[in-house]
C-alpha cells in the first residue's frame, strides 16, 4: 500500500485546476461527493416542483391547472427523478465523502471512474426534463413504466429509457468503486467488523445495485425493442405477456427500495450513537440484519403484484416471505432504541432528524406489513394508502436520514457550524408538514381514492386540501434548508475537529475540520 502512497509527497495543499475545470476534471472523492450532493439537491427541487404540480391539481376536485396527460407525466417523472436523481445520488455523495475517510483510505479505488459515474448523471437528468417538452409530452406511464402502456407511449418514453440506461451505468460503476474501496483499501488494522456501520450498509447496497440495476436495464431494453424493433416481449399479439414485465421490473424494484433505505440505516447508525454518547448497540447483529434484509429483498418481488391473477399458493409464499422481512428490520429498530437507552442524550438537529426517522420510518414499515397481507392489499392496491406508505419510508425514511446526515457532517466537511436554531426550525417544519401531507393519505386510500388520477369524488376533498397545504409547506421549508447550508458555507462559525463529542469514526478522531484535500495519504495508526 505504501508504495502507491509514497509517489505523492504533498499532503496539505491541493494541486488542482481552478474554476469550472476543477469540477469537470476532478478525481478527488471529496469534490465528487460535493457534486453528488448538490446535484441531488437540485433534482430534489425539480422533483419537488413536480410534486407541487400534482398536489396543486389535487387541491380541489375537477381539472384545474394541468390536463390528465400532463398530470400522469408529473407523477411519472416525480417518481423517477426523486428515486434516481435525488435520493440515490445523495447517498452516493455521502459514500464518496465518508467511506475513504472512515476506513482510512486516501481516495476511492478508481478515481477516474468515479468522475465518470458522476458526470453521467447530468445528461440523464436533462433527458428526463427535456422529455416533458417533446411532442406528445412526458410519458404518463408511472415510475414503474409498465408495459403495454410504455409500448404505446410517445417519444418521450425513448428519452426516459435512455436516461434509465445511463443512470444504471452510473450506479453500477459507483457500486464497483465502493465495493473495491471497502474491500481492498482499508487501513491496516481496520478489519471488516471494525468499519463504521455506514460503510457496511453501503457495501451491502453496492452489491444489491450491481445485482439489480442490470435487470432494470434489461427490462427497459425489452420495452425499447418492443417499441421500435418488432420484438414482442410484452405484446400479447406476438405471444408476449405484460405480466412478464412486472415480474422483471419488481425483481429490480424490490431490492431498489432497500437500495434507498439501507444507506439511510447506515447514516442513522452513525448519528444515534454520537448523540447517545454510547457505542452502537449490537453492531454485529446490525451487520447481519442488514445482510438478511438484502438477501430477502430478492425473494419477495411479487408482493407488488398480488392482483395480476397469480395462484393463491404464490400469493401465500410472497406474503409470508414479505412478513419475514419485518424480523431483521425489527432487529435494527430495537438496536437503535437500545442504543439510546440510558444514553446521555442531547437533541441537536441531526439527532432530531434521526428520531423523526425512527418514528416515521417504523410507521411506514408497519403500513408495509399491512400491505403485505394479501386480502388487505387486494383492497388497497393502487390507492392512496400505498402512496402514503412509500412516502413514509422514502421521505421520512431516506430523506430525513439524508438531512440528518448533512447536519451531522456539514461541520466536518466545511469546517463551519450551521445555525442550530434554524436547523431545529427546519426539522420541526419538515416533520409537521410531512405528516400533514401524507398522514391523511392513509385515510384517502382506505376510503378508496385511486392513485395517479387528476380528479376525484367530492367526499375526498377535505383530506386532499389538508394534504396539498402540507405539501406546499413541506416544499417551502426546504428553501430554509438551502439557506442554512449556504449561510453555513459562507459565514458559519468555526467548527471543532470533533464537533460531536460522541462521534468516534476516523473522520472525527483523526482529521481536522475541514479535512485536507488529500487525507490519509499515509494510513492512520489504529489501536
* Number of neighbouring beta carbons within 10 Å of residue 347: 12
Taking the complex as a whole, how short is the minimal distance between the CB of residue 431 and another protein, in angstroms? 39
Which is catalytic among the residues 31, 256, 377, 521? 256
Q: Is 303 a catalytic residue?
A: yes
Q: Is 97 a catalytic residue?
A: no
| Cβ pair 94, 33 in contact under 8 A | yes
Of 332, 426, 498, 510, the active-site residue reads 332
Q: How far is CA 449 from the centre of its chain?
A: 27
256 given a catalytic annotation: yes
From residue 284 to residue 323, the character string flagging contacts with another protein as x (rule: CB under 8 A) and all else as - is -------------------------xxx------------
The CB-of-214 to another protein minimum distance in angstroms stands at 4
Assess 213 for contact with another protein (CB under 8 A): yes
Asked whether the beta carbons of 31 and 17 are under 8 A apart, the reply is: no
Q: Applying CB under 8 A, what is the total number of residues that bind another protein? A: 43
Active site residue 16: no
Nearer to another protein, 303 or 391 (CB): 303
Is 23 one of the catalytic residues?
A: no
User: Would you say 135 or 239 has its CB closer to another protein?
Assistant: 239
Q: Find the catalytic residue in 451, 461, 472, 517.
A: 451
Catalytic residue, from 34, 75, 117, 269: name it: 269
Stretch that binds another protein, among 11-19, 94-102, 232-240, 489-497 (CB under 8 A): 232-240
Place of cell 422514502: 394
Residue 519 beta carbon to another protein: minimum distance, rounded to whole angstroms: 17
Q: How many CB atoms lie within 10 A of CB 3?
A: 6
Please, how many CA atoms are within 13 Å of residue 519, restricted to the half-sphere of its CB? 29
Does 210 help bind another protein (rule: CB under 8 A)? yes
* Residue 329 falls in the annotated catalytic set: yes
- In sequence order, what are the residues at sequence separation of 6 or more whose Cβ sits closer than 8 angstroms to the Cβ of residue 293? 258, 262, 325, 328, 329
Binding mask 94-133 toward another protein (x if CB under 8 A, else -) reads ---------------xx-----------------------
304 is catalytic: yes
What is the C-alpha separation between 55 and 58, in angstroms, rounded? 5
- The window from 67-75, 181-189, 195-203, 408-416 that contacts another protein (CB under 8 A) reads 181-189
Asked if 219 touches another protein (CB under 8 A), the answer is yes
Residue 300, SS3 per DSSP: coil
* Closest approach of another protein to the CB of residue 152, in Å: 9
Residue-by-residue DSSP string for 26-95: ---HHHHHHHHHHHHHHHHHHHHHHHHHHHHHTTSSS--SS-HHHHHHHHHHHHHIIIIIIIHHHHHHHH
- The minimum distance between CB 309 and another protein, in angstroms, equals 5
The reply to whether 416 belongs to the active site is no
Spatial separation of the C-alpha atoms in residues 137 and 69, rounded to whole Å: 8
Examine residue 236 and tell whether it contacts another protein (CB under 8 A): yes
Q: Which of 27, 42, 231, 461 binds another protein (CB under 8 A)?
A: 231
Instruction: Measure Cα distances from 123 to 31, 33, 119, 497 in Å.
Output: 19, 18, 8, 37
Query: Residue 120 — φ and ψ, nearest 5°?
Result: -75, -25
CB of 109 to another protein, least distance (A): 5
Look at residue 188 and give its three-state secondary structure.
coil
238 grid coordinates? 406476438
Decide whether 68 or 218 has the Cβ nearer to another protein: 218
For position 417 contacting another protein by CB under 8 A, the verdict is no
Does 243 participate in binding another protein (rule CB under 8 A)? yes
Positive/negative CA dihedral, 471, 56, 43, 249: positive
Q: Is 143 a catalytic residue?
A: yes
229 binds another protein (CB under 8 A): yes
Nearer CB in complex with another protein: 61/218: 218
Kindly list the distances between the CA atom of residue 96 and the CA atoms of 30, 106, 161, 265, 407, in Å, as whole numbers in the listed order.
7, 12, 27, 17, 17
49 binds another protein (CB under 8 A): no
Residue choice 54, 73, 86, 222 for contact with another protein (CB under 8 A):
222
CA distance 55 to 65: 11
Q: Is 183 in the site for another protein (CB under 8 A)?
A: yes
Q: Indicate if 11 belongs to the active site.
A: no
C-alpha dist (Å) from residue 129 to 67, 106, 142, 168, 247:
18, 36, 15, 17, 28
Q: Which residues contact 230 (CB under 8 A, 6 or more apart)?
A: none
Active site residue 228: no
CB of residue 363 to another protein, shortest distance in Å: 33
Name which position in 59, 134, 154, 247 contacts another protein (CB under 8 A).
Answer: 247
Bridge partners of 493, per DSSP, are: 417
Q: Does 237 bind another protein (CB under 8 A)?
A: yes
In order, the DSSP letters of 141-184 are: STTTT-TTHHHHS-THHHHHHHHHHHHHHHHHHHHHHHHHHHHH
Tell me which H or E stretch contains 217.
helix 197-228
The enclosing H or E element of 417 equals strand 416-417
Tell me whether residue 455 is one of the annotated catalytic residues.
no
Contact residue for another protein among 83, 179, 355, 440 (CB under 8 A): 179
Q: Which is nearer to another protein, 61 or 111 (CB)?
A: 111
Q: Which residues are catalytic?
A: 78, 107, 143, 170-171, 254, 256, 258, 269, 303-304, 329, 332, 451
**Which residues contact another protein by CB under 8 A?**
1, 3-4, 109-110, 172, 175-176, 179-180, 183-185, 210-219, 222, 229-233, 235-239, 241, 243-244, 247-248, 251, 309-311
Amino acid at each position: 500500500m505504501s508504495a502507491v502512497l509514497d509517489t505523492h509527497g504533498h499532503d496539505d495543499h491541493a494541486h488542482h485546476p481552478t474554476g469550472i475545470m476543477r469540477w469537470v476534471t476532478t478525481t478527488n472523492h471529496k469534490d465528487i461527493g460535493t457534486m453528488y450532493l448538490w446535484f441531488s439537491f437540485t433534482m430534489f427541487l425539480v422533483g419537488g416542483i413536480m410534486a407541487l404540480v400534482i398536489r396543486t391539481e389535487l387541491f380541489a376536485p375537477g381539472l384545474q391547472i394541468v390536463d390528465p396527460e400532463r398530470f400522469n407525466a408529473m407523477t411519472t417523472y416525480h417518481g423517477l427523478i426523486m428515486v434516481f436523481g435525488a435520493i440515490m445520488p445523495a447517498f452516493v455523495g455521502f459514500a464518496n465523502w465518508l467511506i475513504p475517510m472512515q476506513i482510512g483510505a486516501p481516495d476511492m479505488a478508481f478515481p477516474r471512474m468515479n468522475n465518470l459515474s458522476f458526470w453521467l448523471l447530468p445528461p440523464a437528468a436533462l433527458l428526463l426534463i427535456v422529455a416533458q417538452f417533446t411532442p406528445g409530452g412526458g410519458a404518463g406511464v408511472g415510475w414503474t413504466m409498465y408495459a403495454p402502456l410504455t409500448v404505446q407511449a410517445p417519444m418521450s418514453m425513448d428519452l426516459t429509457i435512455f436516461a434509465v440506461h445511463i443512470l444504471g451505468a452510473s450506479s453500477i460503476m459507483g457500486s464497483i468503486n465502493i465495493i473495491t474501496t471497502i474491500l481492498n483499501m482499508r487501513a491496516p488494522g481496520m478489519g471488516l467488523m471494525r468499519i463504521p456501520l455506514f460503510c457496511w450498509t453501503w457495501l451491502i447496497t453496492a452489491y444489491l445495485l450491481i445485482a439489480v440495476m442490470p435487470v432494470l436495464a434489461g427490462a427497459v431494453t425489452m420495452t425499447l425493442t418492443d417499441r421500435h424493433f418488432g420484438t414482442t416481449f410484452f405484446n400479447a399479439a406476438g405471444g408476449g405477456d405484460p405480466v412478464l414485465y412486472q415480474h422483471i421490473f419488481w425483481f429490480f424494484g424490490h431490492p431498489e427500495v432497500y437500495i434507498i433505505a439501507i444507506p439511510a440505516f447506515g447514516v442513522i447508525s452513525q448519528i444515534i450513537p454520537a448523540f447517545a454518547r454510547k457505542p452502537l448497540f449490537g453492531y454485529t447483529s446490525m451487520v447481519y440484519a442488514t445482510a438478511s434484509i438484502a438477501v430477502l429483498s430478492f425473494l419477495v418481488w411479487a408482493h407488488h403484484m398480488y392482483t395480476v391473477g397469480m395462484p393463491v399458493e404464490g400469493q401465500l409464499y410472497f406474503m409470508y416471505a414479505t412478513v419475514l422481512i419485518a424480523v431483521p428490520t425489527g432487529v435494527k429498530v430495537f438496536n437503535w432504541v437500545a442504543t439510546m437507552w440510558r444514553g446521555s442524550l442531547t437533541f441537536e438537529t441531526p439527532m432530531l432528524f434521526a428520531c423523526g426517522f425512527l418514528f416515521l420510518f417504523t410507521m411506514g414499515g408497519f403500513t408495509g406489513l399491512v400491505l403485505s397481507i394479501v386480502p388487505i392489499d387486494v383492497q388497497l392496491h393502487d390507492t392512496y394508502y400505498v402512496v402514503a406508505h412509500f412516502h413514509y419510508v422514502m421521505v421520512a425514511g431516506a430523506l430525513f436520514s439524508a438531512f440528518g446526515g448533512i447536519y451531522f457532517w456539514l461541520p466536518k466537511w466545511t469546517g463551519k457550524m450551521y445555525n442550530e436554531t434554524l436547523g431545529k426550525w427546519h426539522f420541526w417544519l419538515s416533520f409537521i408538514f410531512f405528516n400533514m401531507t401524507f398522514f391523511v393519505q392513509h385515510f384517502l386510500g382506505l376510503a378508496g381514492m385511486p392513485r395517479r388520477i387528476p380528479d376525484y369524488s367530492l367526499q375526498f376533498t377535505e383530506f386532499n386540501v389538508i394534504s396539498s397545504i402540507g405539501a406546499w409547506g413541506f416544499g417551502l421549508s426546504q428553501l430554509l434548508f438551502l439557506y442554512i447550508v449556504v449561510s453555513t458555507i459562507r459565514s458559519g462559525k468555526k467548527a471543532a475537529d470533533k464537533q460531536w463529542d460522541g462521534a468516534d469514526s476516523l473522520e472525527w478522531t483523526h482529521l481536522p475540520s475541514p479535512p485536507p484535500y488529500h487525507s490519509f495519504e499515509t494510513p492512520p495508526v489504529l489501536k
